[in-house]
Amino acid sequence: MNIEKKQVLEKWTEFTLSNDFGMSVSVLDFGGIITKIMTPDRNGNFENIVLGYSNYQDYQSNPNYFGALIGRVAGRIEGASFKLNEKTYSLAANNEDHHLHGGPSGFHQILWEVSLFQTAEEVGLTLTHKSADMDGGYPGNVEIKVTYTLNNHNQLILEYAAKSDQTTPLTLTNHAYFNLSGNLKNTVHDHQVTIDSSRFVELDTDLIPTGKLLDVADTTFDFRGGRVLSDGFNNDFEQNKIADGGYDHYFIFDHTEEYQAILQDPVSGRVMLVKTNEPGVVMYTSNGLAEGLPLAECSSRKHLGVCFETQSSPASLHHEGFPTVILNAGENYQKQTVFTFRLED
- For residue 87, give the nearest of 137, 13, 161 by alpha carbon: 137
Cβ of 145: how many Cβ atoms within 10 Å? 18
Residue in 129, 175, 191, 249 annotated catalytic? 175
Q: Kindly list the distances between the CA atom of residue 92 and the CA atoms of 95, 138, 323, in Å, as whole numbers in the listed order.
A: 9, 10, 23
Q: Is 175 a catalytic residue?
A: yes
Helix (H) or strand (E) holding 19: none
Q: How far is CA 288 from the centre of its chain?
A: 16
Bridge partners of 227, per DSSP, are 193
Alpha helices in 8-65 (DSSP H): none
Radius of gyration of the chain (CA): 19
- For residue 49, give the nearest of 18, 26, 81, 73 by alpha carbon: 26
Q: How far is CA 256 from the centre of its chain?
A: 22
User: Which residue type, as a one-letter code, is found at position 304?
Assistant: L
- Asked if the peptide bond before residue 227 counts as cis, ω within 30 degrees of 0, the response is no
Q: Is 309 a catalytic residue?
A: yes
CA distance 141 to 150: 30
DSSP letter at 9 equals S
143: phi then psi, degrees, rounded to nearest 5: -100, 125
Say if residues 139 and 166 touch (Cβ distance below 8 Å). yes
CA distance 141 to 161: 14
- For residue 312, give the nearest of 276, 283, 279 by alpha carbon: 279
- For residue 227, give the nearest of 173, 254, 197, 263 by alpha carbon: 263
CA distance 318 to 78: 8
- What residues are labeled active site? 175, 309
